[in-house]
Amino acid sequence: MNPVDLGIAELTTALARGELAWSDLLAAYQSRIAAKNPLLNAYVVWFDGSAELGSGALQGVPVAIKDIIDCAGFPTRAGSSFYLASAPGDAAAVRRLREAGAWFPGKTNTHEFAAGGTTLNPHFGPTRNPWDPARMVGGSSGGSAAAVAARMAVAALGTDTAGSVRIPAAMCGIVGLKPTYGRVSRRGVVPLSWSLDHVGPLARSVDDAEAIYRCIAGVDPEDPTTGFGQESREVPPWFRIGLVDPPKGFGVPLQAEVEQATRQAAEWLSHHGHVVEPVELPLWEASLAANFTIIRAESATVHRQWFRAHPQAYGEDVRAYLEAGLRISAVDYLEAQRVRTVVVDAYQDLWTRFELLLLPTIPTLPPTIAEHPRFGAPLTQGTAPFDLSGLPALSVPVLAPSGLPVGIQLVAPWWQENWLFTAGRQLEVARGPMRWPD
């Protein structure tokens, strides 16, 4: 039994029964990180081989933390050359994990300040894909996704503002969840866009993602965006699923293997008794434009003083990103927020016809690092609308005939994460056991 191959239930059970020694678990992860991280560059800082065994539902579970999330004992650099915070304590989500018995092997690489989708960080170097080191991991939670896929952690925390949990989950062949906006506290997280930021888990199975989610979800009195949602409704015996027509659902051509995998997923869910019908995303182009405006305007506001003090300390792409945000007028920003309310209303109407949506997480197989100038905004075409609307979304992996991962995205009404877990597990059963990179 190699400890790094175990999921949450297997690991906690083995520790509880004495079948796995705590010292052996730590040694296994120290060895794995030492072997894999020099090539993949998933971690920017990691543990020294020592940690205390906690107690709780996640006893002994190693969870990697994206380096814009505070975690006591590690610095928070946010992927930046100048930002450095010696975290006085844990972010709210990290604290909940620690209280549940999890431990933290390190902080993971991120696109600088989470302001991009590649994790080709100019200050800490690129994170490489465990399936093929010549390929991107996506972003901005790319280090977290690579750490989980390469079995350098059982699970990880990331953040998602336009797709930054789901995109790297899709590229690295793992599960990524963006919960409903307000479901998980963002206290202790370096903000990118306060009205769009979400914290969510990455894991190798839906069960493990759900276990992390159950620990981090809940009201935080110090984060006023939490606690306003309704309780999850009972999972229906079958779902009406809207299959988003891929050619109309993306602004870039959908690769054949991705389209094939998505339609196969629809067939699998049909075989489970669900009704699958074609649908178009409501106000798709308006959603993308509004997300673009809001995220850049709010990011520029967050960074205004830092940008004035350190303009040349930013990487070229993030500097251009913030310069674009500084040019957005108050009128444009408020108009984007108005569009947002219209989009939310459109989804409320859509949920009278469906319980779930199904679409590719991204339209392509993982691009190579050499191709990255052609891939930026197109990778968010199928993810950003659900950050704007605050809807929960789950990416579940399958393998294309080429052997590279494809992300299948499920979207549910607000607060209905349980529905995503049910359908996600059904996809896993139909897909069969996932093969992992060496």
- Hey, what amino acid is at 62? P
Is residue 299 part of the annotated active site? The answer reads: no
Structure tokens that stand for 403 in this block: 């052997």
Is residue 195 part of the annotated active site? The answer reads: no
Structure tokens that stand for 174 in this block: 């793992």
Which parts of 221-333 are beta strand (E)? 240-244, 275-279
Q: How many CA atoms lie within 13 A of 433 on its CB side?
A: 3
Given 164, 205, 287, 299, which residue is catalytic?
Answer: 164
Q: How far apart are CA 284 and CA 336, in angstroms?
A: 13
Cα–Cα–Cα angle for 128, 159, 345, rounded to 5 degrees: 130
User: Which alpha helices (H) appear in 2-160, and where do they start and end?
Assistant: 8-16, 22-40, 92-99, 142-149
| Spatial contact of 288 and 381, defined as CB atoms under 8 Å apart | yes
> How far apart, in Å, are the Cα atoms of 123 and each of 166, 347, 371?
24, 40, 20
| Spatial contact of 142 and 191, defined as CB atoms under 8 Å apart | no
| Spatial contact of 299 and 192, defined as CB atoms under 8 Å apart | yes
Given 36, 80, 107, 140, which residue is catalytic?
Answer: 140
Q: How far apart are CA 409 and CA 356, in angstroms?
A: 10
Q: How far apart are CA 409 and CA 129, in angstroms?
A: 20
Is residue 107 part of the annotated active site? The answer reads: no
**Tokens 């579940």 correspond to what residue?**
396
Residues known to be catalytic? 66, 140, 164
